[in-house]
Copies of this chain bind each other. A is one copy, B any other.
Amino acid sequence: MPDRVQAVDFQAGKLVLLDQTLLPSEKTFLHLDDVADVWEAIKLLRVRGAPAIGGAAAYGLYLGVRGVPDDAGMPAFMAKLREVRDYLASSRPTAVNLFWALDRLVGVAEAATGDDVAALKARLLDEAHAIKAEDEAMCRAIGEHALTLFDGVDAVLTHCNAGSLATMGIGTALAPVYLAAEQGRTIHVFSDETRPLLQGARITTWELDQAGLPVTLITDGMAATVMRRGKVQAVIVGTDRVAANGDVANKIGTYGVAILAHEHGIPFYVAAPSSTIDFATPDGDAIEIEERDPDEVRRLGGRQTAPADIGVFNPAFDVTPARYVTAIVTEKGVVTAPYPENLRKVVLGG
């Protein structure tokens, strides 16, 4: 089994985070027991990826209330819990999974009416562990379902990072690659560097290399040539949100990759935890696309790569229309078109 780096772990009473802002140059783990350090780690993107952020926040909430004396009384404990919850929620207010994880722990505490403070602390740590275990299981299930699509696939192309470092398990888009390796089968990954923030270059190549898995880095503009030369038999990417009709929001550049795959007759798969499928969003047009700081495009690593005041268009995400999506792989199963019906069937079971 590949020697995967854990993005989020809990060891010897401390939250252990890989500091992803130092990649690819340094492999540094932070051992945190102060909630202020957890807040900062989320704020500064030392931990990133929705599932990994949720897990870090859950452990952070536990760390933030661990010091409450066991004899403080439940009202004081609950007040502190809500205070720490609000504090951690302010670290990255746009991260939906952050709120979900924090509120899940608060809900456990609210429901645990018979507990004393000591018992409730233990229960909150258990819940954080449960979130991590569920995430690990979700990743494996996505990997297993994705592998059913990978007969004859010995190389895939991916964009951005939806690997183990975005989750607490073996990733989503990269899960089938890790699972295949466990089974003694090699799936080569071509990784788009993914400008402007280079998550592919900095993170995807690094995590696969650390696990001893073969990876080839390309610039985003090389994907078409990789496909034309037959170097990959599938594309698989992650997603931030899937609309009810199957439109897929993901890192900027994904939509272009989907068109290129379509034109070359290569299947385009989206690995999507069911939590990312948003039935309240009818289609991609309803997804607002954030525009980010122009200096992300004008500069790279502190170096100016374009005139300092030049106009920039810097959308953070794009939307891939469902017609380009060959299948959406959730932990509950593989979904194919027609998505409006089949997403509900597979994800909601109805």
Query: Footprint of B on A, CB under 8 Å?
Result: 24-25, 159, 190, 192-196, 198, 201-202, 205-206, 209, 214-226, 228, 231, 252-253, 255-257, 259-260, 262-263, 297-298, 300-308, 310-315, 318
Contact = CB atoms under 8 A, between A and B. Distances in A.
A267 to B, nearest CB: 17
Contacts of A201: 297-298, 305-306
Contacts of A256: 221, 223-225, 256, 260
A259 B221 CA distance: 12
Nearest to A312: B217
A307 B213 CA distance: 14
Contacts of A24: 304-308
Given A215-B310, A303-B301, A303-B303, A221 B194 contact: yes
Grouping DSSP codes into helix (H, G, I), strand (E, B) and loop, the A interface class, with mixed when no group exceeds half, is mixed
Contacts of A217: 297-298, 306, 310-313
Q: Among A221, A260, A311, find the residue whose CB has the most chain B CB atoms closer than 10 A.
A: A221
A192 to B, nearest CB: 7
Nearest to A317: B225
A318 B225 contact: yes
Contacts of A205: 306-307, 310
Given A259-B263, A301-B303, A307-B205, A312 B195 contact: no
A315 B231 CA distance: 13
Contacts of A259: 224, 259-260, 263
